[in-house]
Every structure is written in C-alpha cells, then in structure tokens.
Structure 1
Amino acid sequence: MTHPLIATQKFTAVRSIALASALCCAGLASAQTGPGVTLYGLADAGITSVSGLKAGTVTQVASGIMEGSRWGIKGTEDMGGGYKTIFTLESRVELDTGSVTSRPISGTQLSDRYSQAALLGLPATLQPAVAAVDGLLAAQWGVNLTGNLFDRQAYVGVITPVGAIMGGRMYTPAFETNAMYDIMETQSGLSAGQIVAFPAALEIRKSNALQYRFVKDGISGSFMYALGEVAGDSGKGRMLGLNANYKTGNFSVGIGHNQANNELGQSSLTATVLGASMNFGNDKLSGMLIKISDDNPNGLSAIAPALTPVVGAAAAGLVQNAFLNAFKQDGTLSHIGYRHVTGPHAISVAYTHYNDNRPADADVTSYGVAYTYSLSKRTDLNAVVVQYDNKNLAQVAPGGNGYIGGVTSSAGTGSTGLAFGIRHRF
C-alpha cells in the first residue's frame, strides 16, 4: 500500500484528455528507434528562488520548472481492421542530480498542524510521540522515493474501433480533467494543484490499473479501476475513476471523478473536478472547481501499533486519532486563468484559491504570471513569478512541476517563488 504522502508528487503535465494525446504523448518531438517504437522525452531545468522558508530564501538549480523532465519509449503496431496495440514506458529524471527521486525544498519539515502536539489537540507530554510519527511521515515525503524506473507511466493496451483498453500505471481520470482546465496545464508553481499537494488532493497516477478510453465526435471519456491487490479483500486500496469531456471548435467542458479506498477498505480520498474553457483566437480563458473530501486518510492505521510499545495503547490510540483528524480533507479549490499567445510569446496569468472547511481553516491563495518565449518548435525559455498567501494554519511554499516547494517557516507565512528556465523536447 502506497502511503498518501508519496502521492504528493507534483502535478505533471498532461496536455489533453483526447485519446491520441494520452496514448501517444502528443506534443513531444520524437526519434524512431525501430519499426513502431519511438524514443521521446523532455529536458527542463533552471534557477529558482523561494522565500518564506525556515532557512530564509533558498536559491537553487531545479529540474522541472515548467514540466517534469522525463524520457520514455512508446510503440504501436497496426493489426488492421481498426485494431492497434500500444505501449508506453516513461521515466522521470532530475536534471540537477541525475536521480529519479527528489525531496521538498524545505527538507523534512512538516507543517505546524502536523508537528505540534497542541495543534493536534494532544497534551504536551505526547510531543515526543508526535515527533516520532513526523519522522516517519517526513521520510516518505517526496517524489518517487522508492526509485521506480518507470514511475511516470508504464502500460500496454489495445485500441479497437470502439475505444481503447489499457493496463498498468496511468494518469487518473480526475487528474486528466484537472490538467485540461488548469490554464497552466499543470506547468510551473502557478498551476492550480500546487497549493493542494500535501496532503494530496488528487491521485495523479495509479498503479495496477485497468482503463477504458473513447473519443468520438467531440466527446471523450475514460473509466479506470485500480486494484488494491490485497489478499482476501479486493476493496482495500482500490480506486475508481471516470471522466467525460465535450469539445467544440472554441469551447470545452468536462467533469472528472476519483474515489479511492484506504488500506482498511474505507472510502478515502474523493475528488470531483468540473471545468470549462473558451478560445478567442490567440486568447484562452479557463476555469475549474474541484471538490475534495477524505474522511478516512490512507496509510495511518500503523501509527498506533508502532507507538504502543513506547507510550502504551491508550496514548498511541490518541496520537493516531489526532493524525487521522489532521489529515482529513474537506475543501473546494477554485481556479481561473487567462493565456495570450502572439508569435513566439505566450503569457499566462492565474488565480487559484483553496477554501479549507476543516478546523485548521488552512486556506491558500496563489496568483502570478508565467512567460514563455519559443526559440524553436522544440525549445523555449520560461519565467515564472508566483505568490502564495497562507491563512491561519496553512504553510504552503511554491514548487515547480517537477519538484515540491514544501512548507513555509510558520503557519500563516506567505511565500514568493521566482523561476527562470529552459525547456527542450526531443
């Protein structure tokens, strides 16, 4: 069972819900390596500066400023009669280190509402137990910390005259809808999902998944069933997802929904995305609402058994319940963005707000601007400035598409992110 904190990997770019895009990684230039097999990828890196952190302002070289750097192999075979076999194997790569893993800019620090006994509603005497749990949770906070080679995508499937059937590790339906109606298409720290990355508000990808997809006459959609693969109880750890989208020449509207169970088989993280966009020549306006709820957070049932030998069963139960309450989610994310493209220039502005209905009232607002200058069809320069305003117990710091910003120095402290980079597709 994957711990939910591992799912805080940054929202990576998905250009379209359309079948051809999802299956063939449209938009990436590629090189043929043999009959029906293509090597492709994207390299994105630059300089970032993030304020408001515990260490002050941190400036660093980062990979994935606009999009997560990656390389992959994809293939297709036409079997005739409208049938094709397809496969994709896609790996992330951190250009600053050459690794396939990364950790937040803020390190292993967690937000105050997860690390202070008083904010968890616990007596001060249990602070050492809270610190012990935080150590375990922080150790799992990052991107692909298990080091899986093809962590981004790994699937095989068949395209038929009535749709495609695939199996493996794939993007989830609700996340694809989010990617379509985020004006940034999940790119940079200005994208909508960046402010709800911890705890994860959306399952980005799922392993052990089966998916059906279709596209016809402007209507597209998908249905996903991800198996929990727990012996004796198929409901533990499983996820269901679906989406639907309708697109005309200049207008698009869509809905996506994910519902996951935790390691005990209880209904856990649920997200429903509703979005719409309209094109006006060189301009695009896009808006989105995401309803997020989770009454039974995943992966926390092991806290009490681990603490019982140290603090006793009663105290261990109190600590586990406190963390369960802290990681529950109930909120709404709203996003609106505008993009203007003229010649090699593209400028985007966006405003995103997360309204947290939990007692922590950890509301976050982000706003800013992103600029792209295309040097060629495959290479561009990018600049992003984004401000995060944290209210009450919120502590979110900006990251990028390929890396996690983490948390600010204290509750309610805001943060500014500046990023300059170059992106090349191959």
Structure 2
Amino acid sequence: MKKAAMALGLLSASIGSAWAQSSVQLYGIVDVGVRMTSNANVGSSKKQVIPGGMSQSRLGVNVNEDLGGGLKALVNLEHRLNSDNGTQAAADFWRQSWVGIQSADFGRVMLGRQYNILFDIYTSTYASFKYSPYIEAYKPEIGLSMGARQDNMVKYLVEKGPVRGEIQVSAGEGNSQNKSYGGLLRFADGPIAVGGAFLTVEDTLGKKVRGYTAGAAWTSGPWYANVSWATNKFDQGGLLGAAYTSGLLGPVLNAAANDVRKRDMYSFGATYQLSPQLNIGGHYWLAEQTHYSAALANTKSKGHYFAFVADYAFSKRTDVYLEMDYTKHKGAVRFSNNENQRGGAIVGLRHRF
C-alpha cells in the first residue's frame, strides 16, 4: 500500500509539474477612431466612427506548452472584430487558427490559417512605423501582401543568430484561391535589418499572382527609418485581381484598378521619439500599375500616398493618436466616385491587453 501510495503521489506530482509548464494567454486590442474623409462622396466629405485607426481590434488566445528536451507546443487563435458596433470583421471568425511545434535546434513548424511570408517580412523587418507596423485605416503597403493570410498553410521558420528563414506552402484543396508557396530571408543585427521574400498564389482557374519584396530598416536612438520595394505580377484572366487590389485602400477604387498586369510600390519613411510618451512619423508610398485591356495597354497608372502620425502613450498599454493622410491618383485608376484625390484624418484611442 505504501509503495502504491508513493507511486500515485509521484504520478500526481509529475502531472502537476507538466500542467505547470503550460501557459494560456488571453490578449487583445481595442481601437476606435473618429475619421473625416474628403471627397468620400461626389464633392462632399464623410465623418464616421471607425473600428480601428492604427490597429484592427482583436481578441486572441496564445497557448505555449513546454514538452521538455527543447520542444514546445504552440497554438494561436485570433478573432478580429469591429469595435464601433461589436460585429464580426470578416467572414472567417478566426483570422488566425494554427497549431505548431518548436524545437530549440531545428526551428518551428506551424499548420493552419496564418499570416503569409510577405506580411511577415513587412511587419518584422521594415515596418512603416516603429510603434505600429502599419496604419489599419490607411495601409497601401499591405495591399501588396497578397491577402496577408493563407488558409491550409504549412509554414517552417528557423532562426540562427541574426538570420531568419521561412518557407510556406498552402494546398489550396481544390476549391480555395489560396494555393501558394514562397520563401523569406531576413538579417537583423544591431541597428540594421534587411530582408526579402517571394510568394506565388494560384486561383481555381490555375492563374497565378507572383509577389516579391525587399527592404531595410535602421534604428538609432530616437530615430527609425525604413525603405522598401514590392511588386505583384498577375496572370491575365485570373480571379485574384480585385481581391488583392482592394487591400490598397479598401474597396473604394474603380474597375480600372482591378485590370492589373503588374503593380510596383516604392516607399520610405521615418519616425522620431520626441519624448518617452510622444512619437511622430511620416511615410510616402508610390504605386505604379500597368493594365491588360487594349484600351489601357499603353497607360501607366500611378498612386501617391502620404501619411503622418503623432502617437501619445499614456502608459505601455493605452495611447491616443492623430493620423493624417492624402492620396492622389494619376491615369486610369481612381476612386469609385471618380475622384482622383482624397484627404483624411483620424483621432483615435487604443488599448492593448
């Protein structure tokens, strides 16, 4: 009996120890802004409360379990929501839903719906703003990340010192527009970070979109500066032109924007930490697009995008921000109301937990 009791005690202790090595973290962002947009309708402006100026509001769960021997099990579930009215932000309830295993020696494998490698390289290596990778309400650069996420993905990530590599493959499974493959390489050491990535996505017609990007960032004291280039190349007659174009500034562009043979984007920006609480930053993007249709074959459309942000942190978790942006289109691409220029401004409040 004593031996049995001791065995049960040891088993109970080992189970308790195993549970002690597992952690579940609830996290989120709630961001609400008041935005004014000029030329939103023909000759008139628009005022609205938006569900996220700098960040899209979200609620997520991270799970991390230590399996011993340098192994960890990882899980992420993340839901996006419209914080202005409490509704769901997209058709997919879980914007991320993946499970993975990580080895201290061999890297990490993740399976499920997750960010693609174009989004990874943008946000990890040459993000447009130091304190927030991009402006949720005004993000032309994310329009070239080809959907930002893919379903049915297997991703492998390995990091050795200052070098990180990633490979992704998505099966597509016959009825999905997300059959994909691509790779990423990043070097970050001290004040310098440089990297590049490529991604190919195939639709159900067998038509492909190919994306490439490269860039660098530099940090020194209160200064942060970055520069990047990206391109998307579309097969004619594919189904993904409109889907990937809408990422430029939301679904507010005309039909000519969806007639795209190739789109290039060049961008640069800087932020400066004026005080422990106050950060200011500006960014410029230039997009150039060629077309397939005979009427536009000799036309190169251009988009000029400017943004300025001032962010004041009340604490590590709560900040208030002022954002101002300006857009000007030249060529066939315009806004859906046929205007070719538009200005905007946001005052918002954000809390992270």
2:229 aligned partner:
289
Is structure 2 residue 267 aligned with structure 1 residue 335?
A: yes
Specify which of 170, 187, 208 is matched with residue 135 of structure 2: 187
2:171 aligned partner:
227
Cα 1:300/1:167, change in 2 over 3 Å = closer
How much is the aligned-residue C-alpha RMSD, in angstroms? 2.3
Cα 1:297/1:173, change in 2 over 3 Å = farther
Cα deviation for residue 66 of structure 1 reads 0.2
1:255 aligned partner:
196
Is structure 2 residue 338 aligned with structure 1 residue 410?
A: yes
The question of whether the paired residues in 2 share the 8 Å contact of 1:182 and 1:288 is answered with: no
The question of whether the paired residues in 2 share the 8 Å contact of 1:190 and 1:370 is answered with: no
Cα 1:183/1:237, change in 2 over 3 Å = closer
Cα separation, 2, equivalents of 1:70 and 1:213:
25
Is structure 2 residue 28 aligned with structure 1 residue 41?
A: yes
Cα 1:288/1:325, change in 2 over 3 Å = closer
Cα separation, 2, equivalents of 1:264 and 1:86:
35
Q: Which amino acid aligns with 2:63?
A: G
1 or 2, which has the higher strand percentage?
2
Specify which of 96, 99, 111 is matched with residue 156 of structure 1: 99
User: Rg bigger for which structure?
Assistant: 2
Can you list the C-alpha shifts for 1:235-256, whole angstroms capped at 9, x where unaligned?
x751012111001100010001
Q: Which amino acid aligns with 2:338?
A: S
Can you list the C-alpha shifts for 1:108-161, whole angstroms capped at 9, x where unaligned?
xxxxxxxxxxxxxxxxxxxxxxxxxxxxxxxxxxxx2x2x2212x110000012
Scaled by the length of structure 1, the TM-score of the pair is 0.68
Q: Which amino acid aligns with 1:226?
A: S
The SS at the match of 2:300 is coil
Cα deviation for residue 327 of structure 1 reads 3.0
Is structure 2 residue 218 aligned with structure 1 residue 278?
A: yes
Cα separation, 1, equivalents of 2:139 and 2:40:
20
1:299 aligned partner:
239
Specify which of 375, 381, 394 is matched with residue 320 of structure 2: 381
2:347 aligned partner:
420
Cα deviation for residue 297 of structure 1 reads 5.1
Can you list the C-alpha shifts for 1:135-194, whole angstroms capped at 9, x where unaligned?
xxxxxxxxx2x2x2212x110000012100010011010121122313231224454426
The question of whether the paired residues in 1 share the 8 Å contact of 2:151 and 2:178 is answered with: no
1:54 aligned partner:
41
Cα 1:221/1:192, change in 2 over 3 Å = farther
The SS at the match of 1:376 is coil
Cα separation, 2, equivalents of 1:186 and 1:63:
15
Note the 1:128-147 alignment, pairs <5 A.
Answer: 144=90, 146=91
Cα deviation for residue 201 of structure 1 reads 5.6
Q: Which amino acid aligns with 1:62?
A: I
Identity %: 23
Is structure 2 residue 287 aligned with structure 1 residue 354?
A: yes
The SS at the match of 1:387 is strand
Cα deviation for residue 86 of structure 1 reads 0.4
Note the 1:194-205 alignment, pairs <5 A.
Answer: 197=143, 202-205=146-149
Cα 1:212/1:61, change in 2 over 3 Å = same
Cα deviation for residue 212 of structure 1 reads 0.3
Specify which of 225, 240, 243 is matched with residue 181 of structure 2: 240
Specify which of 354, 362, 365 is matched with residue 304 of structure 2: 365
The question of whether the paired residues in 1 share the 8 Å contact of 2:28 and 2:60 is answered with: yes
Cα separation, 2, equivalents of 1:300 and 1:39:
34
Specify which of 60, 73, 79 is matched with residue 91 of structure 1: 79
Q: Which has the higher contact order (CA 8 A, sep 6+)?
A: 1
Cα separation, 1, equivalents of 2:311 and 2:218:
21
The SS at the match of 2:141 is helix
The SS at the match of 1:67 is coil
Cα 1:190/1:94, change in 2 over 3 Å = closer
Scaled by the length of structure 2, the TM-score of the pair is 0.81
Cα deviation for residue 214 of structure 1 reads 1.1
The question of whether the paired residues in 1 share the 8 Å contact of 2:119 and 2:145 is answered with: no
Can you list the C-alpha shifts for 1:24-62, whole angstroms capped at 9, x where unaligned?
xxxxxxxxxx95111110000010011112252110000
The SS at the match of 1:369 is strand
The SS at the match of 1:363 is strand
Cα separation, 1, equivalents of 2:301 and 2:215:
24
Cα 1:181/1:167, change in 2 over 3 Å = same
The SS at the match of 1:212 is strand
2:248 aligned partner:
none
Can you list the C-alpha shifts for 1:290-332, whole angstroms capped at 9, x where unaligned?
021112454389xxxxxxxxxxxxxxxxxxxxx8995333121
Cα separation, 2, equivalents of 1:348 and 1:408:
29
The question of whether the paired residues in 2 share the 8 Å contact of 1:255 and 1:274 is answered with: yes
